[in-house]
Amino acid sequence: MQMMTRDVLLEMELEEDDDDDGDIGDVPASKRPLMAPATLPSSLVLENLEQTIVSGFGSLESQQDFRTPEFEEFNGKPDSLFFSDGQRRIDFVLVYEDESRKETNKKGSNEKQRRKRRAYESNLICDGLQLEATRSLLDDKLVFVKVHAPWEVLCTYAEIMHIKLPLKPNDLKTRSSAFDNFNWFTKVLQVDESIIKPEQEFFTAPFEKNRMNDFYIQDRDTFFNPATRSRIVYFILSRIKYQVRDNVKKFGINKLVSSGIYKAAFPLHDCSFSSPSEDLSCPNERYLLYREWAHPRSIYKKQPLDLIRKYYGEKIGIYFAWLGYYTQMLLLAAVVGVACFLYGYFNQNNCTWSKEVCDPDIGGKIIMCPQCDKLCPFWKLNITCESSKKLCLFDSFGTLVFAVFMGVWVTLFLEFWKRRQAELEYEWDTVELQQEEQARPEYEARCTHVVINEITQEEERIPFTTWGKCIRITLCASAVFFWILLIIASVIGIIVYRLSVFIVFSAKLPKNLNGTDPIQKYLTPQMATSITASLISFIIIMILNTIYEKVAIMITNFELPRTQTDYENSLTMKMFLFQFVNYYSSCFYIAFFKGKFVGYPGDPVYWLGKYRNEECDPGGCLLELTTQLIIIMGGKAIWNNIQEVLLPWVMNLIGRCRTVSGAEKKTPRWEQDYHLQPMGKLGLFYEYLEMIIQFGFVTLFVASFPLAPLLALVNNILEIRVDAWKLTTQYRRMVPEKAQDIGAWQPIMQGIAILAVVTNAMIIAFTSDMIPRLVYYWSFSIPPYGDHPHYTMEGYINNTLSYFNVADFKSKSKENPYTELGDYTACRYRDFRYPPGHPQEYKHNIYYWHVIAAKLAFIIVMEHIIYSVKFFISYAIPDVSKSTKSKIRREKYLTQKLLHENHLKDMTKNMGVIAERMIAVVDNNLRPKSD
């Protein structure tokens, strides 16, 4: 009778609806894959149907027997989480705008929406859910539909979804830690257990209705916690159909919300965040989270991960666990980075080559060649004095030590996180989560092809054939490649900007060669170009991020992954690939391309046949790379925090201003939550992406900026509390989701860690000036190449600058507009070439080949040492600790014993009874019969 009634209700909705054609959630009914079966008791179905079918329809708008009045009135308790009877808990809230009270001329469209909503609500009731409608106190056009899942429904779908539930309290003893002796020291950092009580641990197993007595059910109202109840109800809402048209079924709350039939759908927060609820039935978990987690005064405390997981679900819990662990590990990196920076700072006065640049008798007398054609003047080396002093802070021996340390640090972080993640999997019952995950409704809707499963040899439905899958993959890969090329095109545009604007700055900035002008002292053409290009690059990056976000989502939707995890992993790889090219391409250009292919003044190399390639300062491009990192990394952190804090706060403030003054204290919980901001379909995706991009900056280019971990540490400390404040106060409660790990972000971090070793080795070798300085110190400062009797850095600058005869310019000196600056016959440029008049003039000299050999040797040695250490650490530290493995095996043993023990006892008892009867029969047959 249940299925017959559903078909009747949906057939009544057959109508023309052009705006839904071809959308996800549509599939011919004859080819529709099986959804979760509704195995509800017939008595429960009949009871709901009696309340539902009134005047031919079972919607809240027409049923009069579902509750006494047409709409329930608010009972005056702002934090009430129950229906008007005070007994049935609100597990979900649907919000729509009453078309009868809307001032619009689209009556036909409104009627279509009303009918779809009626059919959807009718089928919700047919599946056993209970609904109650309440009008808004602030806007009478809004209607809130409260959804409650009875016990039978929860049990049915808990079994379908393979939800793990408590069997018995966990009696395994926790091993004592070596840090227990220092509890007095760490107690100030811990959450007060008298405020947030530790969660009781249980042995768990997937729920089965026929073994209900084996589960730890003390109270039916609390056996399914609010997060689990909301998760089950959302599972049902996502799979209930609302229309059949032309033998096509449309289903799912997401489709209804996106098409505007419902304004919103969300679970409720349990109370106000600012004060505990006066309702004794309210758990006040939101208030506790705000007080002990999101409030600024708790910034130094550890996160209450168990309560976060209980309230928001494992997916959000694992994010904050990862972010907290990453932040803790950054503390060590930040300390070492600051130490290396201080080493450079205190040894700044011993930087011989910088002193030579600033010395008026050395750098003040070295005339440098123009760095562009015709418009650029000759210039003296000492105008780069300030930049050379700054470069001494970062380009020191401490930077080399720090780069090696970070190669080891990133391995330690990843390996120890795997262990921590394994512990959380055990504690949060997500070890076997992969077996529980269901297909996405959008995937199920496209399953129209029938194939034979090779394993089960049974028919199953898939969305497309093998050829269709290959075509989709090819199209998706082509689209990704095309958009990456567009990103590279934008980077080329920035490079062209740098090349052209450098000429402008060279012409406009003061042209005197004395280096005493205060502007010229601190703002060289190179520095001015670098700063403006970095700012423009940052703006373009922010704009492109918005575009590529939509593009990546479109490509992933077309790809049609099966599960939500597959969907997020696929989107993660695409978005990270886009962001990687977008954020890091300019840094890669400065580090490995700028100043590397410039030729020499008499024969320069031109970019695109028009623009002369950029040259680095005499000290190299390391300082410019540092500037680029500071602007992009710092600007990104500031922008994201402003966006994350101000945007939801302003939107909620505007929403509150539209309501009646002081009404928030009187309005019910569902209406207060409705006026909060929705979290979005992708949830924590952008939070992960933000942190992974930061992780790339911290590891890939740390050799140029040792303070990057310190900036990341400060940002992350604030990020944890900002995200906590945002989730707790500004956003609606998300639907709790299960998650076993951080998904595709883990292999992405591993890839970054491997690449970081190469990039840092190449930055030290090719971007910094460390290798040329070492070669000079150990080989060319003493005979036979040098004139000094002992190892020294004196004369290094003169040795690294080659001579060029001004008469050899292709555009003769008389054509140079700056001839009034002096009649120069020779100028210097940064390279290792033979001077004019040499048999091999302007060819690379022996020093150049020594430096190249030293650079290549350094890269090989550094990579092999770090990779060897990384391999040893990865081998020595198992992904799952021995204690965690023992706990998992112990729990499996005890749960299997507990689940089957009673059944085995019953079976043994029955077998004993049968055996006794058989013996009795045999004895009776063997007994001699009397006459």
Digit-coded pLDDT (tens) for 692-747:
999 999 999 988 889 999 999 999 999 999 999 989 988 999 988 888 888 889 99
Beta-sheet strands, E only, within 67-140: 92-97, 130-135
Report the C-alpha gap between 51 and 392 in whole angstroms.
Answer: 80
Give 27-34's long-range contacts (Cβ < 8 A, gap of 24+): 27/248, 27/249, 27/445, 27/446, 27/447, 27/448, 28/247, 28/248, 28/249, 28/448, 29/244, 29/247, 29/248, 29/249, 30/247, 31/447, 31/448, 31/461, 32/249, 33/444, 33/447, 33/461
Last residue of a domain, one of 845, 876, 907: 876
Average pLDDT over residues 811-821: 46
3-state helix, strand, coil in the chain (%, to 5): 60, 10, 30
Is the pLDDT confidence value at 503 over 90? no
Question: Which residues partner with 266 through β-bridges?
Answer: 93
Is the pLDDT confidence value at 177 over 80? no
Segment holding 288, helix H or strand E: helix 285-289
Higher pLDDT among residues 282 and 6, named by residue? 282
Same domain? 472 vs 355: yes
Report the C-alpha gap between 462 and 459 in whole angstroms.
Answer: 10
Is the pLDDT confidence value at 33 over 90? no
Q: Report in angstroms the alpha-carbon separations of 134 from 87, 138, 265, 595, 725.
A: 16, 12, 15, 69, 29
Same domain? 344 vs 282: no
Q: Which candidate, 80, 66, 53, 220, places its Cα nearest to that of 152?
A: 220
Average predicted confidence (pLDDT) for the chain:
78
Question: Do 204 and 167 form a contact (C-beta atoms < 8 A)?
Answer: yes
Identify the three-state secondary structure at position 373: coil
Identify the three-state secondary structure at position 439: strand
| Phi, psi angles (nearest 5°) of residue 754 | -70, -45
Percent of the chain with pLDDT over 70: 75
Other Cβ atoms within 10 Å of 19 Cβ, number: 9
Identify the three-state secondary structure at position 95: strand
| N residues, the chain | 931
Report the C-alpha gap between 571 and 554 in whole angstroms.
Answer: 10
Other Cβ atoms within 10 Å of 793 Cβ, number: 18
Tell me 433's DSSP state. G
Collect all residues with Cβ–Cβ distance below 8 Å to 557 and sequence separation of at least 6.
24, 442
Same domain? 754 vs 795: no
Average pLDDT over residues 778-801: 83
In a domain, 142, yes or no: yes
Q: What is the pTM of this model?
A: 0.82
Report the C-alpha gap between 226 and 509 in whole angstroms.
Answer: 66
Q: Which candidate, 797, 839, 642, 802, places its Cα nearest to that of 722?
A: 642
Report the C-alpha gap between 15 and 740 in whole angstroms.
Answer: 43
Collect all residues with Cβ–Cβ distance below 8 Å to 441 and sequence separation of at least 6.
24, 25, 238, 239, 251, 252, 254
Taking the CA atoms of the chain, what radius of gyration do you get in angstroms?
35
Same domain? 752 vs 812: no
Identify the three-state secondary structure at position 915: helix
Which of the four pLDDT bands, split at 50, 70 and 90, describes residue 412? very high
Q: Which residue has the tokens 């400062």?
A: 781
Same domain? 310 vs 284: no
Is the pLDDT confidence value at 897 over 60? yes
In a domain, 926, yes or no: no
In a domain, 891, yes or no: no
Give pLDDT, residue 426: 85
Last residue of a domain, one of 291, 322, 355: 291
- The CA-CA-CA angle for residues 68, 69, 73, to 5°, reads 115
Question: Do 26 and 20 form a contact (C-beta atoms < 8 A)?
Answer: yes
Same domain? 422 vs 548: yes
| Phi, psi angles (nearest 5°) of residue 276 | -65, 150
| Phi, psi angles (nearest 5°) of residue 190 | -85, 155
Same domain? 588 vs 489: yes
Higher pLDDT among residues 76 and 25, named by residue? 76
Give pLDDT, residue 49: 38
Which of the four pLDDT bands, split at 50, 70 and 90, describes residue 129? very high
Give 553-559's long-range contacts (Cβ < 8 A, gap of 24+): 555/476, 555/479, 555/480, 557/24, 557/442, 558/472, 558/475, 558/476, 559/472, 559/473, 559/476
Which of the four pLDDT bands, split at 50, 70 and 90, describes residue 656? low
In a domain, 621, yes or no: yes
Give pLDDT, residue 811: 54
Model confidence pLDDT, tens digit, residues 606-622? 876 777 777 777 667 88
Indicate the burial class of 301 (C-beta count within 10 angstroms; 0-12, 13-18, 19 or more). middle
Give pLDDT, residue 26: 47
Collect all residues with Cβ–Cβ distance below 8 Å to 843 and sequence separation of at least 6.
833, 834
Same domain? 740 vs 844: no
Report the C-alpha gap between 302 and 298 in whole angstroms.
Answer: 8
In a domain, 442, yes or no: yes
Written as six digits, the tokens of 768 are 């910094």
Q: Domain limits at 822?
A: 773-876
Q: Which residue has the tokens 């990384």?
A: 870
Question: Which residues partner with 460 through β-bridges?
Answer: 451
In a domain, 915, yes or no: no
Question: Do 184 and 217 form a contact (C-beta atoms < 8 A)?
Answer: no
Most confident of 12-26, 171-185, 395-409: 395-409
Same domain? 778 vs 712: no
Q: Report in angstroms the alpha-carbon separations of 238 from 244, 383, 394, 674.
A: 16, 67, 55, 20
Higher pLDDT among residues 338 and 604, named by residue? 338
Same domain? 180 vs 86: yes
In a domain, 324, yes or no: yes
Collect all residues with Cβ–Cβ distance below 8 Å to 694 and sequence separation of at least 6.
633, 636, 637, 712, 715, 716
Is the pLDDT confidence value at 27 over 50? no
Report the C-alpha gap between 835 and 842 in whole angstroms.
Answer: 6
Q: Which residue has the tokens 């740390």?
A: 702
In a domain, 890, yes or no: no
Model confidence pLDDT, tens digit, residues 289-339? 998 898 888 888 889 999 999 999 999 999 999 999 999 999 999 999 999
Helices (H), 363-438: 385-394, 397-427
Which of the four pLDDT bands, split at 50, 70 and 90, describes residue 843? very high
Average pLDDT over residues 431-446: 65
Report the C-alpha gap between 548 and 202 in whole angstroms.
Answer: 45
Give pLDDT, residue 855: 93
Q: Which candidate, 13, 557, 486, 599, places its Cα nearest to that of 258?
A: 557
Same domain? 755 vs 784: no
Report the C-alpha gap between 116 and 250 in whole angstroms.
Answer: 10
| Phi, psi angles (nearest 5°) of residue 50 | -65, -35
Model confidence pLDDT, tens digit, residues 440-451? 767 766 666 666
Report the C-alpha gap between 595 and 615 in whole angstroms.
Answer: 4
Report the C-alpha gap between 7 and 437 in whole angstroms.
Answer: 29
| Lowest-pLDDT range of 70-74, 345-349, 453-457, 543-547 | 70-74
Same domain? 274 vs 369: no
Q: How many domains does the chain have?
A: 3
Last residue of a domain, one of 860, 876, 892: 876
Report the C-alpha gap between 36 and 239 in whole angstroms.
Answer: 8
Q: What is the largest CA-CA distance in the chain?
A: 149
